[in-house]
Amino acid sequence: MVWFGSKLARLNSDPAKVKVRVISPGRVEPSSYVRGLGQCRVLQRATSHGHHRVGAHQPGSHSLLPFLPHQPASLNHQPTKIRGFPRTAATESHCHAPASPKAPPCNCNMSSLRNAIPRRAHKERAQPSSRKKFGLLEKHKDYVERAKAFHKKEDTIRRLREKAANRNEDEFYFKMIKTKVVDGVHKPESDANKYTQEELLLMKTQDIGYILQKLQSERKAKELQSQNLRREVHLPLTSDDLPTNIKRKIAKSYKELEARKTRLGQLEKIYLDMSMQKELQKKGKKRKLREDELVTPASKSVYKWHAERKR
């Protein structure tokens, strides 16, 4: 009994038949088993005939080409002898090996030949000129991305509905009373004691250091720009003799200097306020002075610390 396909094929114990194994296209050697690979057929040799039978092939046929796994591209290739059989027309086949005997065997197949032939590039359709205002035409990859996003939202809604259906009426979480709904979104209330006093003082110190650095850099830049403008004013030429581009440049420099002065005043105000907040966060008893206690009226609040004995 003989099985073809992916199973092993065992030949009968008839001495008139020879058991073979397919090694590669055009090469067969005797073996006790035959692996069915694609269109490979079991070769049998009759003792009383000079021809060979191939599977269900009609007797008398001396061509193995229709049953080889890969059809040759041309009949001008060098024939290959099948091991275990006499050299006849039936045992000669054509492969893609080169004509030189020293060249290594070729493992070419039809896919490589098919890829060697240039083919026309199939381009996708563009948006018609009458519909260019609607943007690019949706391609298949765009549809796939849109479909995935749609189904993802569907799954999310389905899970939320299942969660709402299976919700326990008696369950309680503290976030139910510590959050409020803003535009349909639960937002937690601001924590008053989120940071300790030491952490707040450290953050204030870091902020004050940054503001002080910017204040010093702006002050130095203002001084340098003022000196440069003072040199440009004492020019031997009158204002009427200056070119237009020079006048425009000087006006731009004065405008930038005024902006620096404004920014410098804002930074000084921020620095003083932050310094006051930092001092108020320190330890010690203090109180805010009333207006009648002030020697000189001031627009800002004035604080007084109680005297403490230093150890």
- Domain boundaries along the sequence of the chain: 1-99, 197-284
pLDDT in tens, 62-92: 444 444 454 444 444 454 444 554 555 444 4
pLDDT in tens, 101-116: 555 555 556 677 888 8
Distance between CA atoms of residues 98 and 104, nearest Å: 8
Q: What sign for the dihedral angle of Cα 304, 306, 310, 311?
A: negative
> What pLDDT is stored for residue 173 in this prediction?
84
Which one is predicted more confidently, 161 or 61?
161
| Beta carbons of 7 and 32 less than 8 angstroms apart | no
pLDDT in tens, 159-207: 999 999 998 988 888 888 888 888 888 887 776 567 777 777 777 788 8
> What pLDDT is stored for residue 155 in this prediction?
98
Residue carrying structure tokens 């403008």 = 229
